[in-house]
Structure 1
Amino acid sequence: MDIARQEFEEIRSLREKLHRPEIRQSPNAVAELLAEGFVEFGSSGTIYDNREELIALLTEEGTAQTSPLVIAHNCAFRSISPDAVLVTYRTVSTMGETSARRHVLRSSIWQRIDGC
């Protein structure tokens, strides 16, 4: 998929939603963002390959007292097929102003399904 500026912004917005606590606390909102067959390799090395279990884990995470603040930067997009794009980016997360920061290199594949 060729990345026009509007599509770039749309994909970036969707990806950033997955880092927001209010989205992660909503099973319906997360389900709208994750495709069937979703697989994630977590920063801990854990492989999440059950979409429903991951949605439940994210919902439980949201009920914790504090969730880390996650900021994404250095976003790059690369077309890998006519309807899919590879997104690579870095995140910095912190649990508070005085906490150590955690830097993670991440990637995700976004695919247009049924024109959406």
Structure 2
Amino acid sequence: MSDLSQALDPGALPSGTGCAECLATGQWWLHLRRCAKCGHIGCCDSSPHQHATKHFHETGHYLIRSFEPGEDWFWNYRTQQAMTGPALAGPQSHPAGQPVPGPAGRVPADWERHLHG
């Protein structure tokens, strides 16, 4: 795991409080993930658009951390394994009052039908 130090930047700030692409395009998400290298916030693989994984494929940044309140796990896309990691610059999650799924006003009434496995 010698290259793990190249996979993260503990000082990188989160790109925002929600999935950057979903917010820009009027879409919605289920859960949020944070790139441990650059701080990009993307939506999880259960979300309709899976922007966190797309960010990995576009950038090669393979280490993410949950951006959900109370969760501190990391996921390594290369090894397909969960892992522990260092503390990252705050905030550690989206605001506790932000709805899940979110953002407020964009989630369809039948949102569960749109989730991925």
Q: TM-score when scaled to structure 1?
A: 0.24
Higher strand share: 1
Q: TM-score when scaled to structure 2?
A: 0.24
Higher helix share: 1
With a CA cutoff of 8 Å and minimum separation of 6, indicate the structure with the bigger relative contact order: 2
Structure number with greater Rg is 1
